[in-house]
Chains A and B, each alone.
Chain A
Amino acid sequence: MRTPQFVLSLLFVVAGALWLRSSAGAEIPATPTTAQGLAAWEQVYSVLTSPRCINCHTATNYPQQGDDRHRHVANVVRGPEGKGVPGLNCAGCHQETNADSTGVPGGHNWHLAPLSMRWQDINDRALSSSAVCRAVTDRSKNNNLDGPGLLKHHEEEPLVKWAWNPGHRPDGSMRTPPPMTHEEFVAATRRWVDAGTPCPTR
């Protein structure tokens, strides 16, 4: 009996696809599902609400500091552009790079995230995953960033990357970085973006 040509080609394609899939390990070549995207978002959320990030994404007129996220010393305030006020500009103390000998973190253009990017309430409590997701994806609030824009922001923005090179505290100990590596954070962001930046409903 003669096997139809197309069946043979199909078998080839399927075999090839199966081989490719198994040799690529855990990679999911297909677009992530919504469920996978939401799971990826939770990973992103865990970073955004970790101290190194959320301390500057406040809803108040002040930043926070420390793993316990207490109000920043010296009564520094947000100011009209999130850069402090005359006499107490963020960049006055926070230089271009970390100052480990004195325990002061630094990075280019140190400033507060705008209030539109607040990830806490006015009582300094982190907002819910869905609330943060909505804020982050709202182009009227997030500096008009689309999915790829958000990915680029997470991948390249110096102040974002600072969180993984947060410098030493005055006592010499290293500040706690976010709960996953930068690479993992970017990968999770990519999965979430590829899934269409889904947000949890509650």
Chain B
Amino acid sequence: MATYQLNVNGQRREVNVDPSTPLLWVLREDLKMTGTKFGCGISACGACTIHVGGIATRSCIVPISHIGDRPIVTIEGIAQDSVGQAVQNAWVERDVVQCGYCQSGQIMSAVALLQSTTKPTDQNIEESMGGNLCRCGTYPRIREAIKTAAMQLAKGGE
């Protein structure tokens, strides 16, 4: 067991866990933040996507011992970011979700895309979202929502 000081969604949090524990399970069980989901445990599906140090990261395969003081942003905190807000609004506006289980990860990946690419092409979308699995198949609506969010952000001049 070891104690870790974490920066989660702008707040200081402290946990005492086995160093090998993936960040996903620290978030879900020690911090009781269940918005980040468990889908596969081998980084193949993206349901566990969060941002660490500003980079989209699959939390199921990063042990807590590898995090350090890099800021962590999860689905619960992404609305603090204007791109995050635009994406979440677009997701609701375009009625993207079905079961919704993959969508935290989808949104976090989409935010990463739009934070770096203001006018994503279809290829940008396919590449950046290409590792986020949705068994329900909401992909066509995800594409639409990303384009909607991009337009909103362009309008807002942010």
Contact = CB atoms under 8 A, between A and B. Distances in A.
Contact of B109 (A87, A91, A102, A104): A87
Contacts of B11: none
B128 A86 contact: yes
A95 B42 contact: no
B56 to A, nearest CB: 5
B131 interface: yes
Interface of B: 20-22, 41-46, 49, 52, 55-58, 60-63, 66, 109-110, 112-113, 115-117, 124, 127-132
Interface in A76-106: 76-77, 79, 85-89, 91-93, 95-97, 99-104, 106
A contact patch SS: loop
Contacts of B132: 87
A67 B45 CA distance: 22
- The contact size tier of chain A is 20 to 34
A77 B22 contact: no
Contact of A88 (B22, B42, B66, B127): B127
A128 B42 CA distance: 34
Contact of B63 (A73, A74, A99, A170): A99
Given A74-B130, A96-B66, A99-B66, A89 B55 contact: yes
B130 to A, nearest CB: 4
Contacts of A87: 49, 56, 109-110, 112-113, 128-129, 131-132
A103 to B, nearest CB: 7
Contacts of B124: 85
A88 B128 contact: yes
Nearest to A104: B61
A177 to B, nearest CB: 21
Contacts of B52: 92
Nearest to A75: B130
B48 to A, nearest CB: 10
B128 A99 contact: no
B112 A95 contact: no
B73 to A, nearest CB: 13
B62 A77 contact: no
B115 A74 contact: no
Contact of B131 (A74, A102, A103, A170): A74
Nearest to B21: A101
Top 9 closest pairs, chain A to chain B, by CB: A74-B131, A101-B20, A87-B128, A75-B130, A87-B109, A86-B116, A102-B61, A87-B112, A73-B44
Nearest to A101: B20
Contacts of A74: 43-46, 58, 130-131
A77 B127 contact: yes
Point out which of A75, A79, A92, A95 has the most chain B C-beta atoms below 10 A from its C-beta: A92
A92 B110 contact: no
Contacts of B66: 95-97, 99, 106
Contacts of A89: 55-56
Point out which of A85, A93, A95, A99 has the most chain B C-beta atoms below 10 A from its C-beta: A85
